[in-house]
Amino acid sequence: MLDTAYHRIIVCSLCRDTVTRLRSGEDLCAELRSRLAGTLASSFAVETVDCMAGCSRPLTVAFNAQGKASYLFGSIDSGTDAGALVEFARLYASLADGWCSSDQRPARLAGKILARIPAGGREQVR
Ligand code: FES
């Protein structure tokens, strides 16, 4: 069952593609909003921010929500990873505390997680 709480997907607007040197954060936001339209649109906001201190692993994307673990992904390809991010969004919305392990996350995101931060005030032992 999907959690209808407010979730955020935050995309860095300043990261530059390592090959093309182009900034692709805005394009990824548009793609995510399009793919989230429908069942997930009401519980996710897609936003940009100028830098999340993951500059050595562009493009960075974060997920957070009140009372849930937060995630920071890096080395996101705006052209090929949008589907995996939406798949992760569906998983994230279904988890009460947002906590999940690598075997639960989309295989395409393996090796792209930079941080998993427990929700405040909760001890996570897994
Ligand atoms: S410029 Fe994107 S994380 Fe710093």
What tens digit of pLDDT does each residue of 76-104 get? 999 999 999 999 999 999 999 999 999 99
pLDDT (0 to 100) of residue 126? 54
Give percent of the chain with pLDDT exceeding 70. Answer: 91
CA 1 to ligand 1 centroid distance, Å: 33
- With H, G, I as helix, E, B as strand and everything else as coil, classify residue 72: strand
Provide the pLDDT for residue 19: 87
Q: Mean pLDDT of all residues in the chain?
A: 92
Q: Which fold has domain 7-117?
A: Glutaredoxin (3.40.30)
Q: Whose CA is nearest to atom 2 of ligand 1?
A: 15
The atom of ligand 1 lying closest to the CA of 15 is 2
The CA 106 to ligand 1 mean position distance, Å, reads 23
Q: What is the pLDDT of residue 110?
A: 95
Task: Give me the phi and psi of 87, to 5 degrees please.
Answer: -60, -40
Q: How far is the C-alpha of 111 from the C-alpha of 92, rounded, in Å?
A: 18
Side-chain-facing half-sphere of 87: CA atoms under 13 Å: 11
| Peptide bond just before 2 cis, omega within 30 deg | no
Q: Which of 116, 39, 114, 123 is nearest to 75 (CA)?
A: 114
What residues does each domain of the chain span? 7-117
**Residues of the chain below pLDDT 70:** 1-5, 122-126
Cα 65 to averaged position of ligand 1 atoms, centre (Å): 21
Would you state the structure tokens that stand for residue 59, as one six-digit string? 């493009």
pLDDT of residue 84: 98
Tell me the whole-structure pTM to 2 decimals. Answer: 0.91
Q: So what's the pLDDT on residue 123?
A: 55
